[in-house]
Amino acid sequence: MTIVLGAIADDFTGATDLANNLVRGGMRCLQVIGVPQQEIDLTDIDAVVVALKSRSCPVGEAVADSLAALEWLRQQGARQLFFKYCSTFDSTDQGNIGPVTDALLEALGAHQTVMVPAFPINGRTVYQGHLFVGDRLLNDSGMQHHPLTPMKDADLVRVLSRQTPHPVGLANRAILAKGSEATSAHLLSLAEHGMRHVICDSLDEQDLDVLADATVLMPLVTGGSGLGQALPAQYRAQGWLERITEPGRLSPASGGALVLSGSCSRATLAQVADFLAKYPDGGFALDPLSLSEGDKQWEQALAFALERLSSNAPVLIYASADPERVKAAQAELGVERAGHLVEEALSQLAVTLVNEGVGRLLVAGGETSGAVVSALGITTLRIGEQIDPGVPWTQAPLAVREAPLSLALKSGNFGGVDFFTRAFEVLA
Ligand SMILES: Nc1ncnc2c1ncn2[C@@H]1O[C@H](COP(=O)(O)OP(=O)(O)O)[C@@H](O)[C@H]1O
Ligand SMILES: O=C(O)[C@@H](O)C(=O)COP(=O)(O)O
């Protein structure tokens, strides 16, 4: 059994986002956490997304983990590889998008790939190589304050040029408007001029369809999940996919409901505020400075959650804070330690509370989700109902539970303002 698409995602929420769009495009998709250490059954699976935690780790580690994932996906016979990163191109001058892409291209012996971060339905578009979030340039969208990968430049050709020694090309909207043949010809001419990376404009789904058509035979494509929704139609046109399948149905959810939020993105801050407005006594705020002083705050959070869960009341534990508070904590503790304290606290709460009967868990934040999913020892995720674009419910088998755990991993900036309450209604 061989798969059509093998994807390597640089964080766990991003992986779920891509898997969700592949399912919506009609592929049968499995998400695995890290490179599987044991043989897994891929019967009736068209696409596998390997979720890594490689967005913010040291470059060498990101490259090594991505190459290991590539190797495993090639062993599964993947016809095309997809490197999934954030629709807001989250990275630093050191990487990891550039170095990982370079390493993957080299390992595949490929000469060129496209960079397509756009996810129009969630407001991420690219014009003349500049990334917009809604009507704001990336560097004015809130992403300039991201705790780990602040994005202070919207010009992606310039951003990527700082991450790779190779020249970076552009396929702009005017080219895409001429259709997929003209786009392919443009990519070819850029390749002849040594452009291994091509930032691609995309304003809407039609642009993504053109790009999918122009790139379906490339060994490697890279980008956000928007391209992932456009590719399955091209795989079908190539005769690689047998039939359109229904989006997956998960078994009924059970157990207590819990929201853990470590995301400080604008959308999450609004979702936290909305939850607290509905349930003024329903939230408990963690703070890295208190966490650094010992176990007291963590134990208080646990007691708070247990109490509310025992009365079936909604519960939110959050470290989400505005940029000033995040900066103050980072100034005192350092960026890495502040992040680690929060991730550790939330993931240990997840482990303890799942043992105590939580069966429906919503986690906000990519790094946060990575920490929580790893601590829970989850190895595979099945994709279910979409809550909002880019965020589906998933299910994971867990030794400590008879029924699978229902899990939603929300990217920081995804989801409507009432996401923390509506998600559980979708599941009911
Ligand atoms: N109050 C805080 N102070 C400092 N860092 C924080 C705080 N709250 C959360 N963090 C850290 O910020 C990072 C947020 O990243 P992530 O979980 O990926 O969210 P997003 O999806 O919004 O980018 C995590 O490492 C988290 O631990
Ligand atoms: O492409 C996207 O925007 C998401 O899939 C994603 O990767 C978001 O990352 P986080 O905001 O760090 O969760």
Domains of the chain: 5-237 (3.40.50.10840), 256-427 (3.40.980.20)
Atom of ligand 1 nearest to the CA of 333: 4
Q: Quick one: CA torsion of 240, 245, 251, 253, rounded to 10 degrees?
A: 100
DSSP assigned state of 51: E
Atom of ligand 2 nearest to the CA of 9: 7
118 CA distance to ligand 2 middle (Å): 12
Radius of gyration of the chain (CA): 21
Predicted ipTM beyond 0.90: yes
Atom of ligand 1 nearest to the CA of 146: 23
Is 166 exposed, middle or buried, given 0-12, 13-18 or 19+ CB atoms closer than 10 A?
A: middle
Q: Quick one: CA torsion of 12, 17, 22, 26, rounded to 10 degrees?
A: 130
239 CA distance to ligand 2 middle (Å): 31
d(CA 252, CA 237): 35
Relative to beta strand 358-364, strand 405-410 is: parallel
Q: Which pTM was predicted?
A: 0.93
Q: What is the pLDDT of residues 337-351, one digit of tens each?
A: 999 999 999 999 999
326 CA distance to ligand 1 middle (Å): 8
User: Which pair of tokens denotes residue 214?
Assistant: 């122009």
Ligand having the closest approach to the CA of 121:
2
Relative to beta strand 130-133, strand 124-127 is: antiparallel
Give pLDDT tens digits along the chain (428 positions). Answer: 689 999 999 999 999 999 999 999 989 999 999 999 988 999 889 999 999 999 989 999 999 999 999 999 999 999 999 999 999 999 999 999 999 999 999 999 999 999 999 999 999 999 999 999 999 999 999 889 887 889 999 999 999 999 999 999 999 999 999 999 999 999 999 999 999 999 999 999 999 999 999 999 999 999 999 999 999 999 999 999 976 556 557 888 999 999 999 999 989 999 999 999 999 999 999 999 999 999 999 999 999 999 999 999 999 999 999 999 999 999 999 999 999 999 999 999 999 999 999 999 999 999 999 999 999 999 999 998 899 999 999 999 998 888 999 999 999 989 999 999 999 998 87
Going by CA atoms, what residue is nearest to atom 5 of ligand 1?
A: 339
Find the residues whose C-beta lies inside 6 A of ligand 2: 11, 13-14, 17, 86-88, 119, 224-225, 265, 365-366, 390, 411-413
Atom of ligand 2 nearest to the CA of 15: 5
Specify the amino acid at residue 268. T
Going by CA atoms, what residue is nearest to atom 26 of ligand 1?
A: 339
Helix (H) or strand (E) holding 177: none
Residue 244 is predicted with a pLDDT of 58
Residue 296 is predicted with a pLDDT of 97
Nearest by Cα to 35 from 1, 74, 86: 74
Other CB atoms within 10 A of residue 79 CB:
15
User: Which pair of tokens denotes residue 311?
Assistant: 């009365």
141 CA distance to ligand 1 middle (Å): 17
- DSSP track, 21-42: HHHHTT--EEEEESS-SS----
Cis bond before residue 96 (omega within 30° of 0): yes
Atom of ligand 2 nearest to the CA of 13: 13
261 CA distance to ligand 1 middle (Å): 8
Atom of ligand 2 nearest to the CA of 369: 13
Residue 343 is predicted with a pLDDT of 97
17 CA distance to ligand 1 middle (Å): 19
Ligand having the closest approach to the CA of 342:
1
Other CB atoms within 10 A of residue 194 CB:
11
Q: What is the pLDDT of residues 188-240, one digit of tens each?
A: 999 999 999 999 999 999 999 999 999 999 999 999 999 999 999 999 999 99
Beta pairing partners, 132? 125, 137
